[in-house]
Structure 1
């Protein structure tokens, strides 16, 4: 192997991407490693790929959809301009709004307080809350474990929203436009956060501020309090770190899979067969959906009531399903948005 190749961690640091994002872009054939070790599966990248990786990061940060990224990375200059023109004015508007809001907040700050502030798009925050909310626990589970009725909000170099009901785990990662202060974790009531996210939706940019007086969301000249609680949120990182490497990957039409599951009395069994995903309900009726499958033959069962909301929370026409074992969670990823991941437990 070429001694100049970079492992995925080193390449990620130089490119400003996370290793998980690089793995996702490899799965989607957008940024393929220069070498993959046949024994360990470790990915290695050439320094020549850095410029492509940095451009890819900038495109995704600007909100360019993955299907259009190829036009910029591999298309002509005219195709690239056509794909980017619609985003340029939006970026200028957001930057101007950020400067105005930050200046106003800095002028109003009292001295000596410990404070964390992040700023991000209102529509981006609203979308993230919508995506993780289906994984918030129902009334029965909340009565026993109140924290499962909350969403964890982590403020750092990235903003992460996390929700779980013990059968699903949803994580959405956002890249803020501005960060200041120490890393902070907030456990926020899910219903209240959904209401605040609806208020934030039309705002070009909002700020999440945490200090000695509590947590607030600023935007549009107004402020909303974020109702937090002192409950300890489950350590979701332990679950993610414990996941084995997937043995199977399936890419299929998200809406078509949802429709098939909604019509099937549960539980349902998913099987792969020669370019198709077979969905068999408890009555033995089978529906076929076209799919791209890599890995050995697959057979796994799910409760549609648990799997469908995870699929509906995705973005784009396709969904990527990653399976490691019949008794381990399936990873549900939006093919157009690697920053959103849901884990769903199968059934017997």
Structure 2
């Protein structure tokens, strides 16, 4: 039997795998020799192992880990072939994403000094725009405000509520600027984002544009004066001296006026505004924060603190108020 075997050096030369690599593969159990001399410890291989050795060398050259190789080599050839095809598809997709990211990063570098830009996950920003848009659409507030500054912040308002969603960017932000996405552009923008992986959001002179794997999407300039929702939010957001966690069912009922008790502090709110706010949040619990009875109340889903909605206290000009009679 030993006559049909060759030394590790001869085997290494025949299969194109270094002897040091063969010793390593033996140690990790991927390619043990056919025979080991009990006295000298010399390793010997037979011709049957040549095919396996070449496959191991090729897999290692492709960057597979020992665990991945061991899993593949323990299966039948047909199973190994199927897994290799799946791996090829995954690597093709990874390469495409990597190429897209490089293009977007290059676009961001080119924009330095002329626009603020931020790289974001396309699926997530599409979801965020859809949630924040639930509180937009009033004739004078028919746009979402985007703030690029150490990430991305999206805001909207219907005069009685102000929604704000902030999230970190996939890569460092370039510059800082504020722009508007008209509500009329949201459907087309959502369709454009669908299928993208990562996109670059750029703001220049108040106009928001998006770069992805294909042609850019440029939002139409907003024609009317638009209030700075960031400044309004900073002025109205409570510090949270009073806090209370409630279930959504506790904020529903009959009648258009409701008094919400937050940690012993009551505030009068418009029920339809409260129910619409709760519907725009996610989860089975709502965190309420307020400072005093006549100030705004902050609604937040505890599991997603980056999403919050300010609700103004009850006044005569709100829906169902005295001014509507």
TM over 0.5: same fold? yes
Deviations 1:119-144 (A, max 9, x none): 11112112221222132243xxx1xx
Tell me if the contact between 1:323 and 1:329 (Cα under 8 Å) persists in the aligned partners: yes
Name the structure 1 match of 2:258: 268
Give runs of aligned pairs for residues 128-277 of structure 1, distance below 5 A: 128-138=128-138, 142=139, 146=140, 148-210=141-203, 215-229=208-222, 231-254=225-248, 256-257=249-250, 260-261=252-253, 264-271=254-261
1:343, distance to aligned residue in structure 2 (A): 0.4
Distance 2:183 2:220 in 1: 9
Q: Which runs of 5+ in 1 are unaligned?
A: 1-91, 272-292
The 1:197–1:174 alpha-carbon spacing in structure 2 relative to 1, beyond 3 Å, is: farther
Name which one, 1 or 2, has greater alpha-carbon Rg.
Answer: 2
The alpha carbon displacement at 1:270 in A equals: 2.8
Query: Which residue in 1 is equivalent to 2:88?
Result: none
By relative contact order (CA 8 Å, sep 6+), the higher-ranking structure is 1
Root-mean-square deviation (CA, aligned residues, Å) is: 3.3
Structure-2 residue corresponding to 1:342? 309
8 Å contact kept, 2:180–2:207: no
Q: What secondary structure is seen at the aligned counterpart in 1 of 2:98?
A: helix
Partner of 2:272: 305
For 1:38, the equivalent position in structure 2 comes to none
- In structure 1, the residue matched to 2:46 is none
* Unaligned runs of at least 5 residues, structure 2: 1-90, 316-325
Say whether the 8 Å CA contact 1:113–1:212 is kept in structure 2. Answer: no
Instruction: Find the aligned partners of 1:94 and 1:320 in 2 and give their Cα distance.
Output: 40
> Would you say the 8 A contact 2:180–2:206 is kept in 1?
no
User: What TM-score results when the alignment is normalised by the length of structure 1?
Assistant: 0.55
Give the 3 Å change call, closer, same or farther, for CA 221–318 of structure 1 in structure 2: same
Distance 1:108 1:249 in 2: 41
SS in structure 1 at match of 2:201: strand
Instruction: Please tell me whether the aligned partners of residues 130 and 313 of structure 1 are also in contact (alpha carbons under 8 angstroms).
Output: no
Q: How far apart, in 2, do the equivalents of 1:228 and 1:99 lie?
A: 32
**1:103 partnered with 2:102:** yes
SS at match of 2:281: coil
Paired residue total: 223
Secondary structure (helix, strand or coil) at the match of 1:309 reads helix
| Aligned partners of 2:116 and 2:175 also within 8 Å | yes
Alignment counterpart, residue 299 of structure 2, candidates 310, 320, 332: 332
User: Contact 2:155 / 2:229 at 8 angstroms: preserved in 1?
Assistant: no
Q: CA deviation at 1:199?
A: 3.5
Instruction: Judging by fraction of residues, say which structure has more strand.
Output: 1
Q: CA deviation at 1:201?
A: 4.2
